[in-house]
Amino acid sequence: MPEPGLVFDLDGTLIDSAPDIHAAVNHVFAMHSLSPLSFAQVRGFIGNGVGVLLERCLAANGLPPDGALHARLSEDFIEIYETAYTLTSLYPGVEAALTAVSSHPMAICTNKPEGSTRSVLQHFGILQRFPVIVGGDTLPQRKPDPAPLQEAIRRLDHGPVFFVGDSEVDAETARRAGVPLLLFTGGYRKAAPETLGAEVIFDDWRDFAEIVSKLRS
């Protein structure tokens, strides 16, 4: 069997970006004289892209989750979030895990905007590891629609592929695309991991290379 391709989600999978997302949301809300939200609230809203994130944040403030205000918030948020990575960190063991599986073709499939994705990967010095990046604004569709994952696989142009993610959104995306899921439990998932239909569930990135090796064999 050839070495399988690996397509990774980003937020909650490779990076813990919730602190920066929370800070950016509250910064933008302050610009528009809106009440701030707690870290737990914003963390719970992550996963479906900027538009849905801000819809949920507006709803939490008792405001309509669409319309002109949503459009202004989205524009301001994306501008701020393009370089918002000072509070973001790689999960422990990620860098070593990526080095250990560097012979495998690798891609990113995320609902984070593509520009922000490239910026944060560059910040952590791992952009070059991912010749294929499909972001939340690369296609008209976003996860859990299977189209972004299917597009990442098409661009990777490789044989068997595993999708590595952390959430219900990733699990549904993998299921709809017919791709096995490797589920990292340290991210932004709310449901019990065993309910998400993953091929493998793992808690620690230090175990990842061995997991991939076993799957290959």
- Pinpoint the residues of the chain covered by CATH 1.10.150: 18-81
- pLDDT of the residue at 98: 98
Q: What is the pTM of this model?
A: 0.93
pLDDT tens string 5-57: 999 999 999 999 999 999 999 999 999 999 999 999 999 999 899 999 999 99
pLDDT tens string 58-109: 999 999 988 899 999 999 998 988 888 899 999 999 999 999 999 999 999 9
- pLDDT of the residue at 158: 83
Check if 9 is active-site: yes
* pLDDT of 1 higher than 80: no
User: What pairs with residue 16 in β-bridges?
Assistant: 89
Q: How confident is the model at residue 111 (pLDDT cuts 50, 70, 90)?
A: very high
Read off the tokens for 109. Answer: 């499939």
- pLDDT of the residue at 217: 72
CATH 1.10.150 fits 18-81, yes or no: yes
Query: What stretches of 58-214 adopt beta strand conformation (E)?
Result: 89-90, 106-109, 132-134, 161-165, 181-184, 200-202
- Pinpoint the residues of the chain covered by CATH 3.40.50.1000: 5-16+88-216
Domain 5-16+88-216 superfamily per CATH: HAD superfamily/HAD-like (3.40.50.1000)
Q: What percent of the chain has pLDDT over 70?
A: 100
Smallest Cα–Cα separation from 13: which of 191, 156, 208, 153? 208
